[in-house]
Structure 1
């Protein structure tokens, strides 16, 4: 009878704890989901692109940036990505009419991290060729999950600023200088505890972060200007929380319940049965 009560209590506690833990685990995933795209007509969305890493136009995740350029130009944007995110960069290039183009064009999108290391695309059409009569070409690049820490020799994506470079390659001489319009948008998926690692960077890979200081502009020893001022909405290293904490807690509860049940079973089996006196 006692064993039955112990097992019933253990199952009741497990039934209460597991749904609550799962709800807590699901909450960060909802809160940290990729930002919704900027509404149409948002005046804060950039309408131009930089021409180098140093002049890259800063955009937030979820914004749709636009820019007018000419074929042959290098267009640069930058955006922040934190640990646990898997960024996806999408670009659309609207080409001039077929009357102005006599040959196919190949467009390519590249993504670099804060150390200007080119990052490989996990999947997506990073390079596409537009036929002579095509009105537009669409590109995409999904990076690997950003890690909080990595070995110095590895090329893993790390938290910090990322650069987008969009350009046409292999253009004939007749295709140079034609006007085009480009649209770029960045989104990300929160991977959660599956990407958690035991370690973190002292500072995100943001250009100029090592030269920033808290001194006023009037101070002659004030530091140089920050080269990138964008960061995630919740700040850097906002992904310190992961569902690994929840699953660790569930494992601890299960281990405790298993210990209680095992003790009750062995204790009950080891006690001699009671024999009525005089039997």
Structure 2
């Protein structure tokens, strides 16, 4: 069917609407790609660099990076401590395996995680406490923390970026089993949640424990702090203001603008009275 010349501009405007919407959807898909790419947990580090010991307190906790598998030998009844860094938008998962001696009674083991302020953080899910039957070769524990937030109210107990501590110990240990040799393996992984966990605000500095050092207490004399924890994320601590939520906001603005242009084109074309050309 031949389209009259007078109606041709209106038809072209209407036909351009699906193309504009398709372009907008393509842009939205490209915007979502970076968020999907950041979802996997960080690649495991070389286990050869992981510590083969554990601390006995918060101050002596062995430092481990995300993706490392740290090992330690100890005795039943000891407190074993490790520390690791966690940044904004991450959801850490701590897993521990305790290798028990050949003969032992039923033992209950527990894993606890504390933040940089030494506040105990609740586990979203996971077997935080498990009981090994008498004679069992090992027991496995896990704790999935809440997503680390960039900022929180002073009264809140939200996990904040900085150093986190892992404490592994036996609770309700029979007297006969105290002092028996045990082996422990600990691994920390984190899932990047992205803009879904973004908040309006950020800490001035991550919660990394440190002590003031000067010439009087053995410091280097330049007034710089002596940091107790030396590890940080591979790409540095997040500033807290950027997240992929900005990309989604920009994509939504583009979609809204295109929808407005398409609606204007449709209403402007349908509002004009149609003129029938002579001879039709």
Task: Establish whether TM, by shorter chain, passes 0.5.
Answer: yes
Cα pair distance change 1:268/1:28, threshold 3 Å: closer
**Which residues of structure 2 form unaligned runs of 5+?**
1-7
Report if aligned partners of 1:18, 1:250 keep a CA contact under 8 Å in 2.
no
Structure 1 match to 2:62: 57
Deviations 1:209-256, CA, capped at 9 Å, x for gaps: x8589xxx9962433310111111111116754332232222112211
Which of these residues, 85, 90, 114, is aligned with residue 85 of structure 1? 90
Structure 1 match to 2:230: 229
Q: With structure 1 as the length reference, what TM-score do the two structures score?
A: 0.88
Q: What is the CA distance between 1:156 and its match in structure 2?
A: 0.6
Whole-Å separation in 1 of the counterparts to 2:262 and 2:26: 21
Report if aligned partners of 2:150, 2:161 keep a CA contact under 8 Å in 1.
yes
Cα pair distance change 1:254/1:69, threshold 3 Å: same
Report if aligned partners of 1:145, 1:191 keep a CA contact under 8 Å in 2.
yes
Structure 1 match to 2:9: 2
Whole-Å separation in 2 of the counterparts to 1:267 and 1:15: 21
Structure 1 match to 2:4: none
Matched, 1:200 2:202: yes
Structure 1 match to 2:33: 26
Whole-Å separation in 2 of the counterparts to 1:212 and 1:262: 66
SS in 2 for 1:148: coil
Q: What is the CA distance between 1:145 and its match in structure 2?
A: 0.7
Deviations 1:105-135, CA, capped at 9 Å, x for gaps: 1000000000000000000000000011100
Deviations 1:142-195, CA, capped at 9 Å, x for gaps: 001111111110111111110000000111211110000000000011111111
Structure 2 match to 1:147: 149
SS in 2 for 1:142: strand
**Which residues of structure 1 form unaligned runs of 5+?**
none
Matched, 1:47 2:48: no
Which has the larger displacement, 134-143 or 22-31?
A: 22-31
Q: 1:62-73 to 2 correspondence within 5 Å?
A: 62-73=67-78
RMSD value, Cα: 2.4
Q: With structure 2 as the length reference, what TM-score do the two structures score?
A: 0.88
